Every structure is written in structure tokens, then in C-alpha cells.
Amino acid sequence: MPTAVPFPSPTPSDGPPSGLPPVAIELRGLRKIYRGRDGRPDKEALRGIDLLVPRGSFFGLLGPNGAGKSTAINILAGLAIKSAGSVKVFGIDLDRHPRRLRRAIGVVPQELNLDPFFTPRETLELQAGLYGVPKAERRTDEILAALGLAEVADAYARSLSGGMRRRLLVAKALVHRPPVVVLDEPTAGVDVELRRSLWRYMRELNAQGVTIVLTTHYLEEAEQLCDRIAIIDHGRVVACDEKWALVRRLDEKELLITVDAVPAELPAALSAMGAVREPDGRIRIRYRPSRVRAGEILDRIRDAGLSILDLATREPDLEELFLRLTGSRAAAHPRASERLAPAPG
């Protein structure tokens, strides 16, 4: 995919002021209650969530189905009305300046909401007009080229492949040069090539200073892309921190040790540490780094008269943390063939 089109900060008249504040999105006490009908009870989708998304971050918003992620995004996009709380984007208050706030964000929905009888060029021109972008300032051709849609710019949307339509959704979200882009399950059901090309483009936008907010069920995807992550469950934020800090909360590591000769029974000193003999002959030891150092474990192995031939370590990942916090097994890693290409540079 070609290089991303630069998106400079909007001017004071059409979005956030120049010299953007350090916080891109601020949610305080955000609640959403869907009123029950026909005798059904009310449904509280958001239960007073507080969330800060720093400017320029690649922020992951994760949670099981029904956790409240899409509700929060719909409130930001103006598709749902909050029941209580405050919403600000770069200091623009949703209650006081709803139009200015919506100009500051671009939302890529999960659903393919495209008019089948509009071409990509017409779609972007219409979207730019809806946002009040003057014709002289529109960059339709540049955006189409950047997202690999130049060759199909004048074809009906109904004739495009699923991957092309997904790219067109991204293009629609960028026509007004928003400093915040929200991606709601953007790679659900798409092929490996599109997944990788989309993330390369989003990394480039993020490198230019655009704040990216991502919701996804591919936890490995979030782990590789995001620098900060929040996990929502049952309408509440159960964790929010930098990615590495979240994973460290588990305070677990695993050593897999190959020794020259494994005894029939492990020495008592190793068994006391929870050591287990694997079927392949290796010794597996799980420990808490806050309490035990790896060096102490290796010393005990040597004291037991065993010679270490090889050593491997395994640390917990985002999926393990997600399962611990939510108890959900709905999320799964993509297959190995679908894994992301390494970040450039």
C-alpha cells in the first residue's frame, strides 16, 4: 500500500484548536441505559466509566461481546445518546459543541455501510460535503491513492471486493482529516493481505500524530499494535494502563529447562518450587518474579547436581490477562499465517 497521506492538525474553525491538548479523549462517569420495553428490565450498557486516551497513542479498547465497547464508540460518533457523564475530544465537550466534537473524530464501523450505487470517488466527495470540507481543500484523489483505491475510483461500490469496501470505509473516515480515528473491529472477516496493509497504513498515520482507538477480538493484534490498552467488562473499565504494565500485573513467568539427565524423581528442592517433568524430558517451573529470581531457580538446579543444557522462558501475554479479568474465552489469536508483519523500522 502506498505511503499514508499526511493529515495536519485542523484549524480552530473546523475542529480542535491548534496546539492540541495532551488528552485526546476524556470520558468521565459515562453511563448508558437502554430502557426496557414490554415489561423487560432496563439494560445498563455503561456503568460510569472513566477513560483517558492520550494524544498520539495507539489505544486498544478490548472486552468480550456485550461489554460496552460499541456503545462507547456510538456515543462518540453521535449514534447513541449518553444517559449521564461527560465526553470530551481534545477538550471539546459533547454537550456544548457536538458538531465540533464529531469533526474531530473519524469512525470506521464494523458494518459495511456503503451505498452500492456510489463510486468511491462520489462516496468521498459526499462525505467531505457532509463535513463541510471546502472543495478546494478536499484530497479525494490522494486518499484514494493512499488506500489503493485509485484504479477503482469510478466503479460502483457494489462491484468492489470485500477488502476494497473495507478500505473505502477507512477512506470515508479520513476525508475531514480527523486527529482521532476510531476503528471498530476493522479486520473482522478480512483476509491476511488486507489486514497487514491496513495496519501498515494505520501505523503510518499514528506516526504522523493521529490518535488511533482500536476495538478488536484479535488480542494478538492489539498486543502488537497498541501502546495503551483498556479492558471493559459488563460496562465497567476493569483495567487501563500501558501494555507492558498490564501484562506485568499477572506476575508470572515460566522456565523450561533441558538438563543432561533427568532423574526418575525430581529433587525435593525443585519439587518444592513446583517443578514438573514434561513428557519431552524438560523441567518446567512456574514462578512469581516479584518473589523469586530466575537466578535462584538455576542455582537450585545446579545444587541438585543437574547440568543445564538449554533454557527457554515464557511470559504471560495479553490474552491470559484478558481471560483472568473477564473470564471470557470468546477472544482468540489469529492463526499463525494471519499474524501481523513486523512494524517498520
CA distances from 299 to 114, 258, 281, 282, 303 (A): 63, 14, 19, 17, 6
The torsion angles phi and psi of 115, rounded to 5 degrees, stand at: -80, 120
DSSP string of 42-59, one letter each residue: PEEEEEEEEEEEETT-EE
- The domain defined by 251-314 folds into Alpha-Beta Plaits (3.30.70)
Angstrom distance (rounded) from CA 272 to CA 302: 15
Q: Between 162-174 and 192-207, two packed helices, what is the crossing angle to 10 degrees?
A: 10
Assign residue 3 a region (left: φ > 0; alpha: ψ between -120 and 50; beta: otherwise). beta
Angstrom distance (rounded) from CA 63 to CA 230: 8
Per-residue pLDDT of the chain (345 residues; tens, 9 = 90+): 544 444 443 333 344 445 789 999 999 999 999 998 888 899 999 999 999 999 999 999 999 988 999 999 999 988 899 999 999 999 999 999 999 999 999 999 888 889 999 999 999 999 999 999 999 999 999 999 988 899 999 999 999 988 889 889 999 999 999 999 999 988 776 778 778 888 888 999 999 999 999 998 888 889 899 999 999 999 999 999 998 888 888 888 889 999 988 777 888 888 888 889 888 889 999 888 888 888 888 988 888 888 899 999 888 888 888 888 887 544 444 443 344 444 443
Amino acid at 7: F
Sorted by where each begins, the domain ranges of the chain are: 23-247, 251-314
Q: Kind of pairing, strands 308-314 and 253-259?
A: antiparallel
pLDDT for residue 151:
94
Angstrom distance (rounded) from CA 251 to CA 288: 5
CA distances from 55 to 22, 23, 58 (A): 5, 5, 9
Angstrom distance (rounded) from CA 22 to CA 198: 26
The torsion angles phi and psi of 173, rounded to 5 degrees, stand at: -70, -15
The H or E element containing residue 126 is helix 120-130
Torsion of Cα atoms, 188 then 193 then 195 then 199, to 10°: -170
Angstrom distance (rounded) from CA 53 to CA 59: 7
Residue 184 bridge partners (DSSP): 215
pLDDT for residue 337:
36
Q: Kind of pairing, strands 283-287 and 276-277?
A: antiparallel
The three cell numbers of residue 188 are 473482522
Angstrom distance (rounded) from CA 203 to CA 226: 10
Residue 92 bridge partners (DSSP): 89
What is the CB neighbour count within 10 angstroms for residue 213? 26
Residue the block writes with cell 477507512 = 170
CATH code of the domain occupying 23-247: 3.40.50.300
User: Which letter does DSSP use for residue 340 in this model?
Assistant: P
pLDDT for residue 18:
53
Three-class SS state of 26: strand
pLDDT for residue 336:
34
